[in-house]
Chains A and B, each alone.
Chain A
Amino acid sequence: MSQIGSFALLLALALSAYAFFAGIAALAREGPESERLGETARRAGIATFAAVLLAAVVLVMAAFADDFSIAYIFHHSNRDLPGPYKFATLWSGQEGSLLFWSLLLASYGLVLRLRHKTDQRLFAYASVIIAAVQIFFLLLLNFAAHPFAIMQGQLPADGNGLNPLLQYPEMVIHPPMLYLGYVGFTIPFAFALGALIMRYPGEKWIHITRRWTMVTWGFLTIGIFLGAHWAYSVLGWGGYWGWDPVENASLMPWLTGTAFLHSVMMQEKRGMLKIWNMWLIFATFGLSIFGTFLTRSGVVSSVHAFAQSAIGNWFVAFLAVIAVTCTYCFFKNKSHLRSEHKLESLVSRESSFLFNNLLLLLACFTVLWGTLFPILSQLVQGTKVTVGPPFFNKVNVPVALLLLLLTAVGPLLAWRKTSLESLKRNFLWPTMGAASVAIALLVLGVRPWRDVSYFYSLMTITLSALVAFTVISEFLRGGRVIADKTGRTLPASMIRLWHRNTRRYGGYIVHFGVVVVMIGLAGSAFNQDKEKEMGYGDQLTIGPYQLVCRSYTQDSKPNYESEWAVINVYKNGQPLTTMYPERRFYRASQQTSTMVANRSTIQEDLYIVYEGLNQDTGRPIIKVHLNPLVMLIWLGLLVMVFGTITALIPNAAPVRATVPARVRAAPVGVED
């Protein structure tokens, strides 16, 4: 089986190399012969997908067949591993996840190459660039991280098993989503670089890549949030984001990708920010590769240490090639990227996008800086320092608040210039609404002067309210106009409004999702936790909840042994539910894992962790967290995904407004 996989990978490398070199040769010349050569390159690219898919299928089949002669299967699977996790073996380790990356890239490449008739020459350039990226990953797979390497010596009876932290349902979908995001940015990158090299006229490449970018951004968003949810549910420390270097690695391309999605509108509508957008997409792709480098190289310590190995140098070399190629192509074709329009006013949509980009890039820089500072410190001072949550929170929370403010203000500003009258008209009600929310929070007992986290929480909720009110007012205002003109009901008019410009109103829905997420994050200022050793009948009180330990016991399953407690929960003295926090010991890997018992409501999460048995008393230690508003974070994600999907739907019909053009009669002979 391993021979088939190895052969498929070699074949994929050969096909990619052909797609790359033949593609370049075809683009360098003109005429029917080069067209035929280009077509063979395109077909080689399509065939690459089949070869990589075959390799991936072989690896998954080997996992299901418990073929421990393959070292990768031995290290990441075992006989008693449940089926879905055997499938997830594909991306559970270094070699498999690189193969999975290559498969996703080949899949994106397949779609692109099948749609080549949209613009054959531009697609041919993009295809060549994708083939180049594919060659890098296939070189890695064939020569540095071979997934079909054979075990030496006697064949083991059973495998080491999957890391217990990964044996959680979300782990079956979190990495694919994240990888779809990472890999997906290769497509807009390929189009951007291709358009730059061929000095592509106009902004059509932006139109072509817009959906690719949005889909990719959507996948990365889902991946990041699923990772946060996994951390919350599995790591058992009561939080969802720890500013771990690998979390940061996924956040950085998301921030630059978000900046690109906004600033690209300036290029489409006003022909501005062409250079900026080019570098934004270069940076986003570079950061995706850099994120993989951080995860794989082990240059920074991370909870994702299970993925580390010695292939970091390959990534450094690839990053250098990307940087040199992009810089060379940029300086060679810089003159092609001149802006077409001037800025008419500082109070305009254009300015808001500029500042939005500035803040997103600042956030990205601080995350990058904080992630790399320990390495810099070791180089300069000889001692490593920790850059943990206190640093990132202090620096990034104010930036996030400013971004929220811009999210509220930006959509209400007109392109080119906004009059003072229009500002007043658009901002009055949202501002009053936000102020009312702030006053209500103060009345309800939020005291911003007591702690800086309360202050940030109050500001976050107030600004979130401002964004929400502006989004609602935009829908209402547009809906009313359509209702007046068509006689439809207001809700029907608002749906019609969205359908006329799905991108804009889908974007507003995404903004609304961000607001919901931000309110969820603001709840963390009011987190509480308690820890207690709890024997039979022992009680613990946290907030309005009383917890009583009814029992604690042990069990043995084929894949693991477990200890858990049975906790009766009462709220204000009334019986509410029974919860079962658990701790597992996985025999194959000899590792433990936490299974958190979480009762989640919109208001708060009651989050119970079984920390283990006290060896002296034999009683379990229970830690309880009361985390307000956490559910809003996951609901906000759903809203963001919904908004992204709605923004991808094509518009119902183009909008036409008839304005009589005033054309002065041309003087006689002016055409001569």
Chain B
Amino acid sequence: MWYQSQSFRRTTQIVLLTFAILALMGAGDDESRFQGLGHRMMCVCGCGQILLECNHVGCQYSDRMRSELLAALDRGDNDDLITQAFVQKYGTTVIAAPTTTGFNRLAWIMPFLALVLGLVTTALIVREWKDRPAPATPAGVVPVTGSELETFRRQAREETEL
């Protein structure tokens, strides 16, 4: 098969490598890490806003938290360490989205499970509908099929187009 050929695989590898390099270019600088981490955390003052979007002047928390985030980046801490430090200090609610560990993983899995369940259900419905016997035709009426049906449909479309 064409997709098993060596040239296809090589091209795919080159394309993927190019995308990976482009994606990694510029990643990791402190400003983008500050923005990334700051948008993955919540301000804990009760405003319900993302840390970097909290705009309450005199907010007891957001200014201090931003300073702590900058300090941690200056120290060279990695993202996981910074996140853990914030969780220890401010509690689990400081993280803006559930983690992908333990019970919290369920938060991420369920939408995909729902999608799969929905697709399976839809497939079953479609199969049931397709297997259903066609409705009975009134006596004396010859069902129109095939190219003749297409002709009538085209004619109806052209004459009404609604």
Instruction: Judge: A and B partners, yes or no.
Output: yes
Q: Is the CB of B48 within 8 A of A303?
A: yes
Residues of A within 8 A of B46 (CB): 301
Q: Is the CB of B57 within 8 A of A612?
A: yes
Q: How far is the CA of A655 from the CA of B57 in the complex (A)?
A: 63
A383 within 8 A of B: yes
Q: Is the CB of A343 within 8 A of B126?
A: yes
Q: Is the CB of B119 within 8 A of A358?
A: yes
A405 within 8 A of B: no
B97 within 8 A of A: yes
How many A-B pairs have beta carbons closer than 8 Å: the answer is: 164
Q: Is the CB of A664 within 8 A of B142?
A: yes
A223 within 8 A of B: no
Q: Is the CB of A481 within 8 A of B156?
A: no
Q: A301-B48, A362-B115 are in contact. Are A670 and B161 (CB under 8 A)?
A: no
Q: How far is the CA of A655 from the CA of B160 in the complex (A)?
A: 7
A414 within 8 A of B: yes
0 or 1 for each of A607-649: is its CB under 8 Å from B? (1 = yes): 0010111010000010100000000000000000000000000
Q: How far is the CA of A670 from the CA of B55 in the complex (A)?
A: 83
Q: Is the CB of B48 within 8 A of A659?
A: no
CB nearest to B130 among chain A residues: A343
A202 within 8 A of B: no
0 or 1 for each of A281-317: is its CB under 8 Å from B? (1 = yes): 0000000000000000000011100000000000000
Q: Is the CB of A386 within 8 A of B53?
A: no
Q: A373-B98, A385-B104 are in contact. Are A272 and B129 (CB under 8 A)?
A: yes
Selected contact of B150 from candidates A239, A419, A501, CB within 8 Å: A419
B134 within 8 A of A: yes
Q: State how many angstroms separate the Cβ of A671 from the closest Cβ of chain B.
A: 9
Q: How far is the CA of A149 from the CA of B26 in the complex (A)?
A: 63
Q: Is the CB of B161 within 8 A of A386?
A: no
Q: How far is the CA of A623 from the CA of B56 in the complex (A)?
A: 11
Q: Is the CB of B23 within 8 A of A450?
A: yes
Residues of B within 8 A of A583 (CB): 57
Residues of B within 8 A of A497 (CB): 161-162
0 or 1 for each of B90-106: is its CB under 8 Å from A? (1 = yes): 01111111110011100
Count A interface residues, CB 8 Å.
74
0 or 1 for each of A368-380: is its CB under 8 Å from B? (1 = yes): 0110010001001
A111 within 8 A of B: no
Q: How far is the CA of A374 from the CA of B26 in the complex (A)?
A: 35
0 or 1 for each of A381-413: is its CB under 8 Å from B? (1 = yes): 101111111110011000000000000000000
Residues of B within 8 A of A341 (CB): 132, 135
28 A-B pairs with CB atoms under 8 Å apart are A237-B55, A342-B129, A342-B132, A351-B126, A354-B122, A366-B114, A373-B107, A377-B98, A381-B102, A383-B91, A385-B98, A387-B97, A388-B50, A388-B96, A388-B97, A390-B97, A391-B97, A450-B26, A477-B161, A478-B162, A497-B162, A613-B57, A659-B155, A659-B156, A661-B141, A664-B140, A664-B142, A666-B139
Chain B contacts to A: CB under 8 angstroms: 19, 22-23, 25-26, 39-40, 42, 46-50, 53-55, 57-58, 91-99, 102-104, 107-108, 110-111, 114-115, 118-119, 122, 125-126, 129-135, 139-142, 144, 150, 152-153, 155-156, 158-162
